[in-house]
Amino acid sequence: MALPQDPHRPSPVPVGGLRKLVGLEEAMRITDDAAPFSVVSVFRLAGSLPVPALRAALDELQQRHPLLRARIVPEGKAHAYLFDAAGPIPLEVADRDGADHWMRVVEEELAHRIDFATGPLIRCRYLVDGGGGDLVIAIPHNIVDATSAAPLFRELLALCAGRAPAGTTDITAEGRTPAPALYPKGYTGAGLALAAAAQMGRQMVDEMQFRWNSRGVRTAPIHPIAVGHCRVLPIKFSAPASEALVQASRQHRITLNSMLSAAMLSAVQRNLYPSPRVPLRHIIFSDLRSRLSRSVPDDMLGCFLTMFRLTVNVERDGAFWDLARQVQEKTVRAARSGERFVAYSMAPGMMKMIFGLKAFRMAATAVSYAGALDMSVSGGPFDVTGVHAFAANMTLGPELSGLARLFRGELYWDLLYLDSDMDAAGAQTIAGQIRTILESATS
């Protein structure tokens, strides 16, 4: 099923209609069977947001988005969206117990599965006191990506302030069309099969080289799935430090994504892999919307992203900018090869193999940089003073991951680790080195 020719006047999803999950959507659902897999976002508020206003905003948001009224049910050997008007968005309200209460709640949410069969595919907790509150929102990654998350939350905040959300896009066709139905002509049918065969050949060569170069190098531990618990570690760079990163990115013609990746890889190598030169696997994420045969509006929920897994050679005494350039060149090469489409389509088989073998970790590190984020509510009864986001992980995933964004001129980098991999002190040490590496590179 494809999007209608006129994206502004799509036909509605029929109540009770089914649409099978494919590609990365299904892979994420498979992952959740092993360990809860959702994205938990936090909006720190100053001012007044009454609970009734929040409740009304959530109800209106749900009516506007078909995927927030859907469930995910078994369909043959896979799963499908069932658009049959799931119940209201759960809202739990509690008194805020200190400035860091939201961090404890995030960790609880990361460990708590969303009930796909019952729905809806979203839940909210509101921590409130006399000075403001913290909104903590959990959504499965199946239905949201970095591109659609920002408009969704801007929409919610506008509704909370009693205002009509910006934008006029009609999104009643939301959830109807999976990304593979919109692949460019060269990556459908036989074209996709040929690209997949070429990618598998490259992966075999990469795997042989990785194993050869990893001789004598520490092997990441593989703990039982139930052992590891997600722990969050937010770090923030001041406005001057963030501006220095942006200027250095422009000067060296290296993306901020590649810079953050290099800093994380370097810090993890120094602390977890005590060898002078180590090949490490690194995961980055890329938007598919701009690469599809037909435009998908940014404010339409869905999983229109893909994942690249790179093998990066990290030298303990190597130059930072050489490492960042290596990450960027490998990313560009993967994107030009059509790997973005192959990786999306092959994701379910890949996850089944990973969970079946339990023989290796997906990567050492993973980074997603969302760019500059605007969550202002001009003249409203409350103000957004901070934004955080964390994607769940499990013991076969990266040893350290992070979601980053620029908000009000400051870089917010929300790191996540598993307590089966390191303790809080070890994670703080790595976070401190990440900051030192970036500040040294831009000084």
CA distances from 332 to 210, 328, 365 (A): 20, 6, 18
Phi, psi at 198, each rounded to 5°: -65, -40
Domain boundary among 143, 176, 209: 176
pLDDT in tens, 307-347: 999 999 999 999 999 999 999 999 999 888 889 999 999 99
Q: In which band, very low, low, confident or very high, does the pLDDT at 4 lie, cut at 50, 70 and 90?
A: very low
pLDDT at res. 173: 87
Residue at 11 is within a domain: no
Instruction: Give percent of the chain above pLDDT 70.
Output: 96
pLDDT at res. 160: 96
Domain boundary among 176, 206, 241: 176
Q: How much is the average pLDDT of 176-186?
A: 94
pLDDT at res. 168: 59
Whole-angstrom Cα distance, residue 437 to residue 263? 6
Same domain, 185 and 122: no
Higher pLDDT, 41 or 167: 41
Q: In which band, very low, low, confident or very high, does the pLDDT at 396 lie, cut at 50, 70 and 90?
A: very high
pLDDT in tens, 413-426: 999 999 999 999 99
Same domain, 124 and 210: no
Domain boundary among 160, 176, 192: 176
Structure tokens at 362: 């997906």
Q: In this structure, are residues 175 and 283 in contact, taking their beta carbons and an 8 Å threshold? A: no
Q: In which band, very low, low, confident or very high, does the pLDDT at 69 lie, cut at 50, 70 and 90?
A: very high
Same domain, 122 and 191: no
The total of structural domains in the chain comes to 2
DSSP secondary structure code for residue 290 in this structure: G
Residue at 7 is within a domain: no
Global pTM value: 0.93
How big is the chain, counted in residues? 443
Whole-angstrom Cα distance, residue 124 to residue 109? 10
Q: Is the pLDDT of residue 8 over 70?
A: no
Per the listing, tokens 């739990």 go with 92
pLDDT at res. 139: 98
CATH of the domain at 70: 3.30.559.10
CATH of the domain at 279: 3.30.559.30
Q: How much is the average pLDDT of 236-259?
A: 97
Same domain, 230 and 300: yes
Q: Is the pLDDT of residue 389 over 80?
A: yes
pLDDT at res. 17: 85
Same domain, 322 and 431: yes
Domain membership of residue 120 as a residue range: 17-176
